[in-house]
Structure formats: C-alpha cells, structure tokens
Amino acid sequence: MPELPEVETIRRDLEREAVGKKIKTVDVTGTRTIRRHKTKKPFVERLTGTKILGVDRKGKYLLLRLDSGDVLVVHLGMSGQLLAAKNAKTPPPLKHTHVVLSYSTGGQLRFVDPRTFGEVFVTTPEALESEVPELAHLGFDAYEQVMSWVDFARLLRSKRTKLKPLLMDQKVIAGLGNIYSDEVLFEAGLRHDRTSDTLTAQEVRRLYRAMMDVLQEAIKHRGSSLADEQYRDLFGEVGGFQAFHRVYDREGQPCVRCRNPLVREKVGGRSTFYCAHCQV
DNA sequence: CGATCTACCTGATGGC
DNA sequence: TGCCATCAGGTAGATC
C-alpha cells in the first residue's frame, strides 16, 4: 500500500502526535510482525519506559528515535497502518492489530496489518548501518536527498535495466513503488521499458523533475488511497492524491494529454499503466 | 549482471 | 448463495 508519500504523511503526523510521549506498556499479539526478534520479551522490554524523541524516514521505512538510544523501525509492507487512538477502547481496535504502544498520557499507537508483510523491530543506530541490510543498502531518497542531474544521469547510465524496475529498486532509489513509478514515468513522457542508459540529457532532466513534482504533489495531498481505502494516515483519514493520478488504475480511460485510451500491462507480475502514445 | 518467478499473507471482487 | 480465480500499495531469494 504505502509508498514514499504515504509514509512521509504518517511521519509528519507522528512528529506532531507521538514525539515527546513516553511508552508505558507494549502489547504484541502478532509475533510475525516482530519476526526479527526471536521472542516478544526483548522487543517489549527495550520499548517499555522509553520516550519518543523524533521520527525520521528512509525510503519507505519509519525510524522512531527513542531516549534509550534505540530506534524503533516500522515498515508498513502492503497493508500496514499506524493509527493513533485516544485510549484502549476508543476507537475499538481493528482486526489484525498486532502491536499496541500505550503512552503514559493514556493514548495509543497501534500497528494494524492484515497481510502481515509489514514489520516492526527495535535496534540501535549502529546496527541499522551494519546489521539491517535492507536499510543499509537503501539508495538515495527520492524526495529528501537532492542529487545533481549529472549524478542522476551517471546513476542511470551505470545500469542497463528497464526504467520501471530501476525506479522501484530500493537499492537504487528509495521510496517509489508501483503507483508512483507509473505516475513519474507518465509525467516524464517515458515508457516503463526504456533502457536506463538510452536516455538523452533532456530525458534525464525530465525524469528527475517528474519524480520531484509527482512526489511533492502526492505529499501535499497526503498520499493515495485506492478503492479499498486501505491506506489511512495516523488519524485514520484517507489520502487525496488518487484524484490526481494520470495513469495508475485508469486502464481504458483517455490520456489527459492525447485522449488515447491508457494501456495496462503486466510487468514482472505487477500491473503497469501508461500511455502508448505520449510515453516514448 | 539483469530478468523472471515464487513465496510470504488476508480480504475484496467478479464470473458462473 | 457459494465456489473459484484473480487481484492488491512490498520485498527477498532462487534460478536461468
């Protein structure tokens, strides 16, 4: 579900809602969610009594800095949600609530995840670099880390892969997933299957600018919620960027530029939407 | 090296 | 109403 704009929206919500709060108790029901820890005990003990100092984001990972020096890492997978609650009963906990942090002030932070592809774990900042390969090997952040066009061009030329898989490869660029890679490629006027080392300097700049523009707009509208409305922000509200999607989930609808019907294609098992006329 | 498949899960939806 | 196939925002690992 959640890609960079959705995770960034939740990060900003947490900054407002969770920072400064002390974790009084920790309840874990789904042990698959904390699978990096062998047992519940170390996870619960390392969190209990700590205070949340700040919230960072790396790609699609949320990093909650704790006053113990540890970091609470959250990845939402396909169906994860982080939800703020007034107390243990309000609102009533959803099915598939796997981890609940109760603050000393009475509120709660709940991790809900039906498909259990998401995960939560506690670690140290040092171990993040050395022992958590997915995080250590993340590429540059698609939104936060400014990269020069020259460097971006060099990065594209260093690979000989198709553009969409490249944009979605977290080791290269961190944060883009299936929705936003399609939206960025449409905005840039480039096909998903263009090989990355065939782009002209102008196309490289268009791609870079499209990535920045699409992500900025998506964050402004608090992310995308699809038909199932599974993506929710910290307060349970849906996002609004789906109304601005140009191609994603719009098979057969007219392209906003040329009015030709948009195409859907399976690429690497994932649905890919594009305009066969505008994207070259 | 890159491309392609599988597995990990639950739930919604549509065809018959 | 039920049954079955297909689909869904992610990622890692195996295989060719």
- Contact between the CB of A255 and strand C at under 7 Å: no
CA nearest neighbour of A16 among A223, A233, A242, A240: A233
Residue A47: closest CA among A114, A3, A100, A98: A100
Which nucleotide is nearest to A80 if distance is taken from CA to C1'?
A: C9
Q: Which stretches of chain A are DSSP H helices?
A: 4-17, 40-47, 125-130, 133-136, 149-158, 163-168, 178-188, 201-220
Show pLDDT as tens, one digit a residue, over chain A (280 residues): 699 999 999 999 999 999 999 999 999 998 999 999 999 999 999 999 999 999 999 999 999 999 999 999 999 999 999 999 999 999 999 999 999 999 999 999 999 999 999 999 999 999 998 889 999 999 999 999 878 889 999 999 999 999 999 999 999 999 999 999 999 999 999 999 999 999 999 999 999 999 999 999 999 999 999 988 899 999 999 999 999 999 999 999 999 999 999 999 999 889 999 999 999 9
Query: Model's pTM, two decimal places?
Result: 0.98
Question: Alpha carbon A278 to chain centroid distance?
Answer: 28
**How many Å from the CA of A138 to C1' of C8?**
25
Instruction: Give the CA-to-C1' distance from A146 to C9 in angstroms.
Output: 25
A230 touches strand C (CB under 7 A): yes
In angstroms, the CA of A39 and the C1' of B11 are apart by 28
Residue with nearest Cα to nucleotide B2 C1': A161
- Chain C bases closer than 7 angstroms to a protein Cβ: 7-12
Query: A12 with A95: CB under 8 angstroms?
Result: no
Q: What is the pLDDT of residue A234?
A: 98
Strand C lies under 7 A from the Cβ of residue A238 = no
| Alpha carbon distance A73, A46 (integer Å) | 13
The amino acid present at A135, given as its one-letter code, is L
The predicted pLDDT at position A131 comes to: 86
Enumerate the nucleotides of strand B whose atoms come under 7 Å of any protein CB.
1-13
A111 CA from C2 C1′ (Å): 34
Domain locations in chain A as residue ranges? 4-136, 140-274
3-class secondary structure, A34? coil
Under CATH, what is the fold of the domain A140-274? Helicase, Ruva Protein; domain 3 (1.10.8)
State the pLDDT at residue A206: 96
- Give the integer Cα–Cα distance in Å for A111 and A31: 12
**Model pLDDT, residue A33:** 98
Write phi, then psi, for A75 (nearest 5 degrees). Answer: -120, 130
> A4-136: which CATH architecture?
Alpha-Beta Barrel (3.20)
**b/e per residue A218-241 (b: at least 16 CB within 10 A):** bbeebbbbeeeebbbbbeeeebeb
Q: Please measure the distance between the N-terminal and C-terminal CA atoms of chain A and give it in whole angstroms.
A: 28
> Which active-site residues of A does the annotation give?
2-3, 60, 270
The pLDDT of residue A7:
98
| Strand C within 7 A of A133 CB | yes
How many Å does it take to go from CA A270 to C1' C14? 19
Instruction: Give the helix/strand (H/E) hosting A237.
Output: none
